[in-house]
A and B are shown apart, each in its own frame.
Chain A
Amino acid sequence: MTELNLKNWRLENDEQGIITAILDKAGENANTLSKEIMGELAILLDEFDKNPPKAVIFRSGKAAGFIAGADINEFTQLDSKEKGLEIISRGWNLFNRLADVKYPTLALVRGHCLGGGLELALACKYFLVIDEPSTKMGLPEVMLGIFPGWGGMKRLPERIGAPQALDMMLSGKTIDAKKAKKLGLADDCVPPRVMEMAAKQLVLSGEHHKKLGLVSQVLSGPLKAVTANKAREELAKKARPEHYPAPYAILDIWEKHDGNALADPNLIDNIINSKTARNLVRVFFLQERLKKFGAQSDFKASHVHVVGAGIMGGDIAAWCALRGLKVTLQDTSVDRIAPAIGRAKKLFDRRIKDPLLARDAFDRLVPDVAGDGVKDADVVIEAIFENLDAKHKLLSSLEKKVKASAILATNTSSLKLEDLATILKNPARLVGIHFFNPVAQMPLVEVIHAETTDEKTAKKALAFVKQIDKLPLPVKSAPGFLVNAVLAPYMLEAMCSVDEGISPETIDEAMLAFGMPIGPIELVDTVGLDIAMAAGSQISAANEAPKCLLEKFEKGNLGKKTGVGFYKWVDGKAQKGKPSEVPAGLAERLIAPLLERTQKLVDEGIVGDADLADAGVIFGTGFAPFTGGPLNYSVG
């Protein structure tokens, strides 16, 4: 074989004549399919055309996984129709070529295999997955506002049937190794210890993929239109086409063009150059930027102690145990801790499929009435009720017991960190680590750097947040920090509109149509009217509370937790009536105070810059991601 001088691929030959092509992207921890790598793959295929090998196995040289997807940096440069077409045709043609080679090929998939990576694997004759929790396959392009144009829309439905494939492509969700085998995506699923032997046996086996079931065949073929329409109906319940055009485009391309996007160049341009795609790619990079905050310290926790087993404290504890940490959870009695343990068990069972691993998580979460865990913990988080005296008492007793190297943190959302720190002998060690409810669902965690907080401690706290797979956002100490501070005037405006006679349903509908995940009135009910009252008085001292809020508050109708607030709540769901027609400009009016407050917090330096503010509001409130964040939206 001639010397190919590839930068990112390594070839290994065995005595049987099987070539293993190992992708090991130069200078990176993970493989992404850059233009260069695709070019080198083309060179490889040229070489194999000249000297056909007995078989080729594609695998990764990275511990992180197989291939994470396309190189998203390249997406930011697609400013013309031609460039959009070029990037689609590059992958479409290359993977078609790979699919047509005469020698057998196999993708050995261990770790992540996403987007373009899965499209490459689908173009191989055989697909072998390694049975490990980190092995994940999916086509998440839709989350970036685009579509899997390198053959995913064609080959995934062919391989596993349209209903399952559409579900994966439209939601962007990933599946694990066992599921991949079950769906017929993978030909086999094996433990790592036999993967090399399995790959070689399989690639030479001459076997064919499992055929689709009859129903699946019919739904993917003769009844294609029915399948597509059904999927469109389901989709309409989750995403509006004016906000998220990409999933609708996926359905069209599959239905009309068998997954070949090149058949409709205008559609490619409409999607790739849509505002939504640009904004979602922006959000992706914002997320990467937040993650990098966690890399400024090599702090690594193995034991977290949480004081306060209420909803927040209990769920923080459960989350940390889920992420592999030992957690001790303290409260004044075992009866106060127990409900948190029950909730944690449900979380573990839902998130961890292997029952033995779920049991490990349960074993890692230790109730600790006496607070024995404090002395061993690397991170101590207090999440007790919002009372200065109580927190003072607690913090000063914690300070005596914590290790010198440990982070001492508060999850307070309404008290000033500087006031809390006064009780400490070393006020510099107190940092805010502020989670959002529900902890398991909300990706953002604010790390509050008070005036008193030591720089190194703040960096350790950011690293800890990253360690538990949350997105850390550094903010300065100010009432409501970023997220609650921008939500308060927004919820206030919504309640003022109720006072003016607009129905809660109509207000909520206005903001759902805007793209918010939850309406502001339902949000008030969810956080609790008491919290809204307290937060309102702290954050907007000048304003009087809206009448509707006061009335309900005084009656003790505090929202979801009492079963009645602005809505009646049954089984955790708000019972909403039909909204009236939304008055013109209502959404703009409701959102205006949020935008204004976000800008103000940037101006005051509470949050680093406008991009970070956008990131915080998106990941902390679910603010319509396709807008690219409030400030990006207001710039237009």
Chain B
Amino acid sequence: MGFEKKIYIIDGARSPFLKAQKGPGPFSASDMATQIGRALLLRQKFAPSDLSEVILGCAGASADETNIGRMVALRMGCGEKVPGWTVMRNCASGMQALDSAIANIITGRSELVMAGGVDALSRAPLMYNDKMVGWFASLIGAKTPMEKAAVFAKLKVPEVLNPVIGLMKGLTDPVVGLLMGQTAENLAWKFNITRQEMDEYSVQSHQRVLAAQQSGYFEEIIPIIDGDGKVYAADDGVRPDASMAGMAKLKPFFDKKYGNITAANSSQITDGAAWLILASEEAVKKHKLKPIGVISDSEWAGLDPAIMGLGPVHATTPLMQRNNLKIEDIDAWELNEAFAAQVIGCLRAWESDEYCKKELGLAGAFGKIDAEKLNIDGGAVALGHPVGASGARIVLHVLQILRRNGGKKGIATICIGGGLGGSMLVETI
């Protein structure tokens, strides 16, 4: 099974993932995507204008970045004739960009595509609430100074000071009304995942990222430079001092007081960009490219939005079944760490006879993933989760791990707010 055409990965790169500090970060989403993309293009054998198209996933582009995919294609110097567009599938926007590139390569519409994802969550906007919007409308309607004065007299300070926080809206399910963290609380409840387990997983994520940094395993990072000449060369959310004692200090954030999910055992709010270059067989020949890997299949699945964190289970299981793969056939797993509880929840679901029978239609439990194959260089709990970028990052990184360790097959899979899961099967050449 798998795709009817070979989809080659030619190269890929990402920005350092920069944790949101107080206020907007140093780069807008398009700044980051441009800096990484132009550097990635510079090292290719083909010219930027040779691209068939540019596809960028982004969950929350700013008001100044409408159709950010096209905008970045132009900013990277691809020229006016290379089409650029934007896809949005929440946390999997970057993976969706890859899948859209794949689809167009398979139909023959494209042969050489730059696809990736980006988000600058630190720049998520504050917005006026509905009452304020109404107030502005009445101000515009007021003609005379007296009328205007009357409108101003009705202005209520608390409403001015109570903006809608764009980020919180983005992290809230629009149908079931749950914060993403609350969907993770649902998984903890469903699978009896304890605070201790979540915190242990999170400490391990930090430790794994640190170890990978020290070993130089994040070579897909290209440093970026801001307008003040400051270099950002490494992911900065990782905490060398991460410990169980430190984890224990945090209070539950989403279900205040009684919950288990804290800011520390969730993925971080982060800015980042990731790109891959995908090519058809013909493009590889035409430009004499040296592929580093192949994306051989992909799958999307839907499930109850209230347990969206199990998306990877629902997307990956059918993908592996149709490719006749068993858990032990996979050499490396990148399962995006939206929440520690959500990763553990996915593992429990696959290990559960009941869940696999009832929800996946299997004869019994799918199996147990070896912890030494799962997120071995850490994940979003320590690196951060710049929503649109993460799906592209894990596809690129699982390939890096396979190449490093001599593995053959890897899975990159991600849960998606709104009750979706995405999964890709990546192989070395």
Kindly identify which residue among A334, A340, A342 contacts B228, using a CB–CB cutoff of 8 Å.
A342
- B322 on the A face (CB < 8 A): no
Please tell me if the beta carbons of A338 and B38 are within 8 angstroms of each other in the complex. Answer: no
- Using an 8 Å CB-CB cutoff, how does the interface string of B216-237 with A read, 1 for contact, 0 for none? 0000000101011111010000
Please tell me if the beta carbons of A366 and B39 are within 8 angstroms of each other in the complex. Answer: yes
Please tell me if the beta carbons of B231 and A335 are within 8 angstroms of each other in the complex. Answer: yes
- B42 on the A face (CB < 8 A): yes
Assess A367 versus B39: contact at CB under 8 Å? Given A326-B77, A334-B223: yes
List of A residues within 8 angstroms of B75 by Cβ: 359-360, 363
Complex formed: what's the CA distance from A206 to B45 in Å?
Answer: 62
Please tell me if the beta carbons of B43 and A372 are within 8 angstroms of each other in the complex. Answer: yes
Please tell me if the beta carbons of A328 and B230 are within 8 angstroms of each other in the complex. Answer: no
Complex formed: what's the CA distance from A244 to B228 in Å?
Answer: 40
Complex formed: what's the CA distance from A366 to B42 in Å?
Answer: 9
- A565 on the B face (CB < 8 A): no
Please tell me if the beta carbons of A363 and B225 are within 8 angstroms of each other in the complex. Answer: no
- B76 on the A face (CB < 8 A): yes
Most chain B CB within 10 A, of A328, A343, A360, A372, is at A372
- A341 on the B face (CB < 8 A): yes
List of A residues within 8 angstroms of B231 by Cβ: 334-335, 338
Please tell me if the beta carbons of A345 and B227 are within 8 angstroms of each other in the complex. Answer: yes
Kindly identify which residue among B34, B47, B229 contacts A339, using a CB–CB cutoff of 8 Å.
B229
List of B residues within 8 angstroms of A370 by Cβ: 43
Kindly identify which residue among B38, B77, B230 contacts A342, using a CB–CB cutoff of 8 Å.
B230
- A364 on the B face (CB < 8 A): yes
Complex formed: what's the CA distance from A339 to B231 in Å?
Answer: 9
Complex formed: what's the CA distance from A343 to B233 in Å?
Answer: 19
B285 to chain A, nearest CB (A): 20
A380 to chain B, nearest CB (A): 14
Complex formed: what's the CA distance from A133 to B193 in Å?
Answer: 63
- Using an 8 Å CB-CB cutoff, how does the interface string of A114-144 with B read, 1 for contact, 0 for none? 0000000000000000000000000000000
List of B residues within 8 angstroms of A345 by Cβ: 227-229
Please tell me if the beta carbons of B38 and A366 are within 8 angstroms of each other in the complex. Answer: yes
Assess A342 versus B227: contact at CB under 8 Å? Given A363-B34, A363-B76, A364-B77: yes
Q: Is the interface of B mostly helix, strand, loop or mixed?
A: loop
What is the number of residues of chain B that contact chain A, defined by CB distance less than 8 Å?
17
Assess A363 versus B77: contact at CB under 8 Å? Given A334-B223, A334-B231, A345-B227: yes
Minimal Cβ-Cβ distance residue in B for A369: B223
Please tell me if the beta carbons of B225 and A334 are within 8 angstroms of each other in the complex. Answer: yes
Chain B residues numbered 373-409 whose CB sits less than 8 Å from any CB in chain A: none
Complex formed: what's the CA distance from A363 to B225 in Å?
Answer: 11
B216 to chain A, nearest CB (A): 15
- A362 on the B face (CB < 8 A): yes
List of A residues within 8 angstroms of B42 by Cβ: 328, 366, 368, 372-373, 376
- A337 on the B face (CB < 8 A): yes
Chain B residues numbered 269-323 whose CB sits less than 8 Å from any CB in chain A: none
Chain B residues numbered 33-79 whose CB sits less than 8 Å from any CB in chain A: 34, 38-39, 42-43, 47, 75-77
Please tell me if the beta carbons of B229 and A341 are within 8 angstroms of each other in the complex. Answer: yes
Please tell me if the beta carbons of A338 and B43 are within 8 angstroms of each other in the complex. Answer: no
Complex formed: what's the CA distance from A343 to B228 in Å?
Answer: 8
Please tell me if the beta carbons of A334 and B38 are within 8 angstroms of each other in the complex. Answer: no
Please tell me if the beta carbons of A341 and B225 are within 8 angstroms of each other in the complex. Answer: yes
Complex formed: what's the CA distance from A252 to B2 in Å?
Answer: 86
List of B residues within 8 angstroms of A343 by Cβ: 229
Please tell me if the beta carbons of B225 and A367 are within 8 angstroms of each other in the complex. Answer: yes
Complex formed: what's the CA distance from A376 to B50 in Å?
Answer: 14
List of B residues within 8 angstroms of A342 by Cβ: 225, 227-230
List of B residues within 8 angstroms of A340 by Cβ: 229
Please tell me if the beta carbons of B229 and A338 are within 8 angstroms of each other in the complex. Answer: yes
Please tell me if the beta carbons of A338 and B225 are within 8 angstroms of each other in the complex. Answer: yes
Please tell me if the beta carbons of A338 and B77 are within 8 angstroms of each other in the complex. Answer: no
List of A residues within 8 angstroms of B39 by Cβ: 366-368
Complex formed: what's the CA distance from A623 to B223 in Å?
Answer: 43
Chain B residues numbered 78-103 whose CB sits less than 8 Å from any CB in chain A: none
List of A residues within 8 angstroms of B76 by Cβ: 363
Complex formed: what's the CA distance from A360 to B76 in Å?
Answer: 9
Most chain B CB within 10 A, of A326, A328, A342, is at A342
B233 to chain A, nearest CB (A): 7
B58 to chain A, nearest CB (A): 18
List of A residues within 8 angstroms of B223 by Cβ: 334, 367
Assess A334 versus B233: contact at CB under 8 Å? Given A326-B77, A364-B77: yes
List of A residues within 8 angstroms of B227 by Cβ: 341-342, 345, 362
B51 to chain A, nearest CB (A): 15
Minimal Cβ-Cβ distance residue in B for A343: B229
Minimal Cβ-Cβ distance residue in B for A367: B225
Complex formed: what's the CA distance from A56 to B227 in Å?
Answer: 49
Complex formed: what's the CA distance from A69 to B75 in Å?
Answer: 38
Complex formed: what's the CA distance from A376 to B225 in Å?
Answer: 23
Minimal Cβ-Cβ distance residue in A for B233: A334
List of B residues within 8 angstroms of A339 by Cβ: 229
List of A residues within 8 angstroms of B230 by Cβ: 338, 342
Chain A residues numbered 309-333 whose CB sits less than 8 Å from any CB in chain B: 326, 328
Minimal Cβ-Cβ distance residue in B for A346: B227
List of B residues within 8 angstroms of A334 by Cβ: 223, 225, 231, 233
List of B residues within 8 angstroms of A362 by Cβ: 227
List of A residues within 8 angstroms of B38 by Cβ: 363, 366
- Using an 8 Å CB-CB cutoff, how does the interface string of A350-375 with B read, 1 for contact, 0 for none? 00000000011011101110101100
A121 to chain B, nearest CB (A): 35
List of A residues within 8 angstroms of B47 by Cβ: 376
Complex formed: what's the CA distance from A368 to B230 in Å?
Answer: 16
Minimal Cβ-Cβ distance residue in A for B72: A363
List of B residues within 8 angstroms of A366 by Cβ: 38-39, 42
B173 to chain A, nearest CB (A): 36
List of B residues within 8 angstroms of A341 by Cβ: 225, 227, 229
Complex formed: what's the CA distance from A360 to B47 in Å?
Answer: 19
A54 to chain B, nearest CB (A): 39
B293 to chain A, nearest CB (A): 21
A462 to chain B, nearest CB (A): 27
List of B residues within 8 angstroms of A363 by Cβ: 34, 38, 75-77
Complex formed: what's the CA distance from A269 to B75 in Å?
Answer: 55
Minimal Cβ-Cβ distance residue in A for B75: A363
Minimal Cβ-Cβ distance residue in A for B44: A372
Minimal Cβ-Cβ distance residue in B for A358: B227
Complex formed: what's the CA distance from A465 to B223 in Å?
Answer: 32
Minimal Cβ-Cβ distance residue in A for B227: A345
Minimal Cβ-Cβ distance residue in B for A335: B231
Complex formed: what's the CA distance from A8 to B225 in Å?
Answer: 53
Complex formed: what's the CA distance from A472 to B47 in Å?
Answer: 31
Most chain A CB within 10 A, of B34, B38, B42, is at B42
B213 to chain A, nearest CB (A): 16
B181 to chain A, nearest CB (A): 36
List of B residues within 8 angstroms of A328 by Cβ: 42
Most chain B CB within 10 A, of A343, A367, A370, A376, is at A367
Complex formed: what's the CA distance from A255 to B170 in Å?
Answer: 66
Chain B residues numbered 179-230 whose CB sits less than 8 Å from any CB in chain A: 223, 225, 227-230
Of the A-B pairs whose beta carbons lie under 8 Å apart in the complex, a sample of 9, sorted by A's number, is A334-B225, A334-B231, A337-B225, A340-B229, A343-B229, A345-B227, A362-B227, A363-B34, A368-B42
Interface contacts beyond A334-B233, A338-B225, A367-B225: sample of 11 additional A-B pairs, CB < 8 Å, sorted by A: A338-B230, A341-B227, A341-B229, A342-B227, A345-B227, A345-B229, A359-B75, A363-B34, A363-B76, A366-B38, A376-B42
Chain A residues at the B interface, C-beta cutoff of 8 Å: 326, 328, 334-335, 337-343, 345, 359-360, 362-364, 366-368, 370, 372-373, 376
- A-B pairs with the 9 shortest C-beta distances? A342-B229, A345-B227, A372-B43, A334-B223, A372-B42, A341-B225, A338-B231, A338-B229, A339-B229
